[in-house]
Amino acid sequence: MTFSDIFKSSFLENVTSVSVLDIVLGLVLSFAIGLFIFFIYKKTYSGVMYSSSFGVTLVALTMITTFVILAVTSNVVLSLGMVGALSIVRFRTAIKEPLDIAFLFWAIAAGIVLAAGMIPLAVFGSILIGVIILIFANRKDHSNPYIVVISCDGSESEKKAVEFLKSKTKKCITKSKMAKKGELELNVEIRLADDNTDFINELSDLAGVESAVLVSYNGEYMG
């Protein structure tokens, strides 16, 4: 055994397994695509509270996936170890918006494709996905369901309120009803015929109706 054999290290041999140009190009492109995904997410977000940390996560996830796949593609043995390491990772964060799942998979897929060297697919595919999401996510349809919360003082005012809603909407279904002494509260699902919501003002002016609230239905209502 020579002196050089003592200090011979497989770790040092792997330093040049991925070229500096590949590293810089991959991370720069992944950062640019991650910013594009972040921009699309910000433009199409329709939830109640916008989370900027999730947008930053999309950028970081794209870059992290890129350098992990770069390492995996340069070493077959490392790829097997990486699969075993990632198999023990468990994520417990709840995803509240279904579209957020698509953004997470988009960021991961973009990082994988970039690291695999398919740069045109990653760039043009991301642009096409972003345009499609912009078109469909920002498309507002007046036929989307709404919930009307009505507080009234008795059964007669309840009937008048429901009949009024049926005359002003395409669809009207009572989802729940709560009764107290001298007070009734209704949760009614409706579909609008157009974008006009002035009927809520008229509904609140009906005799016996104490208040009327129109709420956009977000799929979490339990009736």
Whether the full predicted model's pTM is greater than 0.85, yes or no, is no
Q: Which pLDDT score is estimated for 48?
A: 60
**Cβ atoms 69, 26 nearer than 8 A:** no
CATH number for the domain whose boundaries are 145-216: 3.30.70.260
- Domain range summary for the chain, segments of one domain joined by +: 3-137, 145-216
2's tokens: 């020579």
Task: Give residue-wise pLDDT tens across range 130-142.
Answer: 999 988 876 655 5
Q: Which pLDDT score is estimated for 176?
A: 85
44's tokens: 């199409």
Percent of the chain past pLDDT 90, that is, above it, reads 15
Spatial distance between the Cα atoms of 219 and 154, rounded to a whole number of angstroms: 29
CA distances from 111 to 23, 34, 52, 106, 126 (A): 13, 9, 21, 9, 11
Task: Give residue-wise pLDDT tens across range 176-206.
Answer: 888 887 788 888 888 887 777 888 888 888 8
